Structure 1
Amino acid sequence: MKTIALAASLLLAFNAAASVSVKDDRGQEITLAKPAQRIISLAPHATEDLFAIGAGKLIVGAVNYSDYPPEANKIERIGGYNGFDLERIRALKPDLIVAWQSGNPAKQLAQIETLGLPVFYTFSKKLGDVPTVLERLGVLTAKEPEAQLAAKKYRDSLASLEKKYAGKKPVRVFYQVWDRPLMTINHEQIISDAMRLCGGVNVFANLPALVPTIDDEAVLAANPESIITSGEPGVKDNWLSRWKRWPNLQASKNKQFHVLPKDLLSRMGPRLVEGTAKLCEAIDKAR
């Protein structure tokens, strides 16, 4: 028994010291001499990803709004969308940085790269991309069993939703990201893929920008059957009330205005499948 225990201990020690390598969402190879032990997260969804695979305790720094799960609020802040504190990042001595390719400012990311630290970029475009990020982060943190379980849970929930809403009557949807200026999403944004699963048709799917700015006239011309946003109830209700000025708008005729729970759809993490379920329920009401 002592021999077996010793062998197991040696194996664990070997695995902890062995190099690990994966490709990030840019297709770039990220290689660490050993699994990461000090991580900085540059996106709230990346923070959620790391906690989901049991690597939350390895995060030494995170951006503002990294507030889920609750224990994430205790992590030291290193900045936010308007800028990162490079000196603080350097002082925390991270051995891995998890960045958000489309959500972090390019200039800030370029500055991060000058630090010479390994950067794993995330940019999920489809619902099915999310669990692969969990699995790859599992490799980089030596949390592969936990990551595989989290990925399986997500995929199982997603498959259940796909089965439930397959073949449903299409519903034309306008997803409102912001009020002033008025902003929406195109087909490359992951929420549009969630719409597709629900049988929703993104009325602005063909616009070139990921998060395009539009005007009221464009919404009226598209004449969506459902108008949806997400965020704090009350505040976002006021955003949607503007559309009641046009009683001939299909969504207005049928009173199809919906505010979904904050962060469930806007973060490309494990809770996105929960947000998709809420989105499907909202779209289903317009059928």
Structure 2
Amino acid sequence: MGKTSVTLGLASAALAAGIPTLVVDLDPHADASTGLGVRPEGRTDIGHLLKNARRGDIEADAAPSSWLSRAAGDASLTRPPVLDVAFGAAFTGIYDRPDLRARDLRRLSALLSRTSIYSLVLIDCPPSLNGLTRMAWTASNRVLLVAEPSLFSVAGTERTMRALDLFRTEFAPELATAGVVANRYRPASAEHRYRLDEMRSMFGTSLLSPVIAEQANWQQIQGAAYAVHHWPGEAARTAASHFDDLLRNVTDSGKLRSRASH
């Protein structure tokens, strides 16, 4: 749970680090596109780009995030920041079915193979394990799993890891698991402490650090289409530093050219 929130947090960290980044919003609800403040302005959404994968130009149709206007004054950046979005739309749902053919699974890979300006691609997936998620896995170098410290979320993450192992064997032998991130953790909750211990036991070294704590104003930050790094207050600064650490943990420091799906 909370995949979109983690995607937005990682995108914020990448922007702050000056890493040219593309966010691909595969969820038909397009929440990541909303949180990134995208204005399509005549560009083609990711669903129609997938339909025309042989000739589609994802670089030309990716829309810049509104976060860029606030990042432009960051004196620490040595070059103009890049944060583009292949924005989501309900049309993408035509591919979210369990019987997607192998050639359809490669549609996003075909689009991304023609990109050259991004060092990092973050793919936000819908909450199902149907066609869109498997399409994202096919196009990715690694997969980051997101779980809340609750019974159903932890059990669902374990099932996803098994599904990922089967998918890797059949379709993508080089696909790696970036790990599991615990999200929306409340340290005052005895249930959350118990489930986090359970996650440590179940996932071992695959459970990444840091744990992302629940933030009371997260909905406000997303609703305002702000990067967490640009939001005022100590809580936001702490969350931003956690996403900085998480980004370093899920990307290969020796190879910035990376695609990760969530």
Does TM-score exceed 0.5, indicating one fold? no
**Which structure is richer in relative contact order (CA contacts within 8 A, separation 6 or more)?**
2
How does the TM-score come out when normalised to structure 2?
0.31
- Report the structure number with the largest CA radius of gyration: 1
